[in-house]
Structures are given as structure tokens and as C-alpha cells.
């Protein structure tokens, strides 16, 4: 399917477990992003990537790890999940260069609950 897909859509895990959220886009967009959405905070940037093998921290990177070995994939890993990481996670992508880099297209989200 064309577009940007996230998996799993729903995940329940326990404190201390490792969790990986997957993100795949079919447009060959240069930029990819991970945001978390929490009540009262809106969308906050966790990590972003301008190209394969290039990643940068966003506003709330602590407790998360990302990688970008292929342009189309941008997995987000919680190495040891905590209850404060219960959230809805959104992956997004955008074209590279100029103003196009700022026009993000979002996936449908992954709802993570940490017990």
C-alpha cells in the first residue's frame, strides 16, 4: 500500500520491556519523524531523520532510540519502557529540501500502554 504505515496500531507492554514501533513510507521521502501525543501537551518531537543514517534528537528523546538504515523505514525503540511512555506515537515523513521539508504527512498512530 502506498503511503506511510505504522505497526503495531495498539500495544500493551509491561514496565522494563523493550518495545519497537515500526514506520514504513513508500514515497522515498528524505525526512522522517517520530512524535508523541499526550493530553495537555499536543505533539512533541522525539527524533527525526533527514536521510538514511542521519538522525537527530527532538524535544523529548530520553528513553528512546531510533535508527534509519533504509530510507523507507524509521523504527522507534523503547529500550526499557516506563509508564510515562504510555502515549500515542505518530510517525511522519516529508520531502527533502526547501519548504517541502516542513510539510509532514502522518501515519495513523500507534497507541502504546505501559503497565
Partner 1 sequence: GQQLNQSPQSMFIQEGEDVSMNCTSSSIFNTWLWYKQDPGEGPVLLIALYKAGELTSNGRLTAQFGTTRKDSFLNISASIPSDVGIYFCAGQLRGGSQGNLIFGKGTKLSVKP
Could you say which of 11, 20, 22, 45 contacts partner 1 (CB under 8 A)? 45
Question: Under the criterion CB under 8 A, does residue 94 sit at the interface with partner 1?
Answer: yes
Name which of 99, 95, 35 is nearest 71 in CA terms.
95
Question: Under the criterion CB under 8 A, does residue 90 sit at the interface with partner 1?
Answer: yes
Q: Which three cell numbers stand for residue 15?
A: 514496565
Question: Under the criterion CB under 8 A, does residue 103 sit at the interface with partner 1?
Answer: yes
Longest dimension (CA), the chain: 42
Could you say which of 2, 42, 62, 69 contacts partner 1 (CB under 8 A)? 42
Q: What are 36's strand-pairing partners?
A: 44, 89
Question: Under the criterion CB under 8 A, does residue 99 sit at the interface with partner 1?
Answer: yes
Question: Under the criterion CB under 8 A, does residue 22 sit at the interface with partner 1?
Answer: no
Q: Phi, psi (5° rounding) for residue 101?
A: -65, -20
Question: Measured between alpha carbons, how far is 53 from 81 in angstroms, rounded to an integer?
Answer: 24
Residues that bind partner 1 (CB under 8 A): 31, 33, 35, 40-45, 48, 50, 56, 58-59, 90, 92, 94, 97-99, 101-109
Amino acid at each position: 500500500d502506498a503511503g506511510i504505515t505504522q505497526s503495531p496500531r495498539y500495544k500493551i507492554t509491561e514496565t522494563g520491556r523493550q518495545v519497537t514501533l515500526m514506520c514504513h513510507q513508500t514515497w522515498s521521502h528524505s525526512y522522517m519523524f517520530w512524535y508523541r501525543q499526550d493530553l495537555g501537551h499536543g505533539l512533541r518531537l522525539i527524533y527525526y531523520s533527514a536521510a538514511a543514517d542521519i538522525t537527530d534528537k527532538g524535544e523529548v528523546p530520553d528513553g528512546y532510540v531510533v535508527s534509519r538504515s533504509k530510507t523507507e523505514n524509521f523504527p522507534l525503540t523503547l529500550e526499557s519502557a516506563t509508564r510515562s511512555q504510555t502515549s500515542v506515537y505518530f510517525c511522519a515523513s516529508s520531502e527533502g529540501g526547501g519548504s517541502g521539508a516542513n510539510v509532514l504527512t502522518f501515519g495513523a498512530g500507534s497507541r502504546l500502554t505501559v503497565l
